[in-house]
Amino acid sequence: IVLMPVVVKYIMGGLMPISEVARTKLQKKFKNSKFYIGLDCALLLGDPVVVTASLLFIPITIIIAALVPGNQILPFGDLPTIGFFIAMAVGVHGGNLFRTLITGSIVMFLAIWISNQMIGLHTILAANAGQLTNATAQVASLDQGGSPLTYIITQILHTTNIMGLAAIGIFYIICVVCTIIWSKKQYASLDK
């Protein structure tokens, strides 16, 4: 938790000049165009609010895992990567820790619930990769196993939970629409 933000800060610090050069060259080549170069959310891991939220989310995630109905996952392996889950919320909320904790709790609840739904497929994937030594073991993760997009695509292709697909699908669509509206406002304020 202490070392990761420092290491990532130096890596992302090396990528910033590259992205600026790429943006400048693209703008020279394509006159009257604006380019935004996207970088990974790891860029935010050195931010003090992200570090604070990440530390707070370690016990919060364990409490949420205890509250998710039917949960079979103890998310200890994913705790060091909590910053990746929280970093974007800090950016969206402009560094407001309270809002980040509320949004992050909702995201973490959904990630744990979705991850529980994906245990079977994750276990098959691990077995096919030869990574299971115990035939009764199950494998889960919060990052890709808890991703709403992965869940939606998987459920469309291999329907096992229509109600879950509908709930997560509607929630995801609402989030995408809100993100589009929010980003248009942000870009409009940048253009002024």
Most trustworthy range by pLDDT among 46-50, 116-120, 135-139: 116-120
Range of the domain at 17: 3-146
Residue located via tokens 């170069």: 37
pTM of the full structure:
0.77
Tell me whether residue 163 is in a domain: no
State mean pLDDT over 153-179: 88
Tell me whether residue 48 is in a domain: yes
Tell me whether residue 74 is in a domain: yes
Each residue's pLDDT tens digit, 57-109: 989 999 999 999 989 988 888 888 888 888 888 888 888 999 999 988 998 99
Q: Is 51 exposed, middle or buried (0-12, 13-18, 19+ CB in 10 A)?
A: buried
Query: In the numeric block, which tokens belong to residue 44?
Result: 């935010």
Tell me whether residue 165 is in a domain: no
Tell me whether residue 152 is in a domain: no
- The pLDDT of residue 4 is above 70: no
Tell me whether residue 186 is in a domain: no
- In this prediction, residue 61 carries a pLDDT of 92
Report how many domains make up the chain.
1
What percentage of residues in the chain have a pLDDT greater than 70?
93
- The pLDDT of residue 191 is above 80: no
Q: Do residues 119 and 140 touch, judged by C-beta distance below 8 A?
A: yes
DSSP state of 14: H
Is residue 132 helix, strand or coil? coil
Each residue's pLDDT tens digit, 120-149: 888 888 888 887 877 778 888 888 888 888
Closest CA to 115 of 79, 74, 166: 74
- In this prediction, residue 148 carries a pLDDT of 87
Tell me whether residue 90 is in a domain: yes
- In this prediction, residue 179 carries a pLDDT of 83
- Residue 151 to residue 128: CA distance in whole angstroms: 20
Tell me whether residue 76 is in a domain: yes
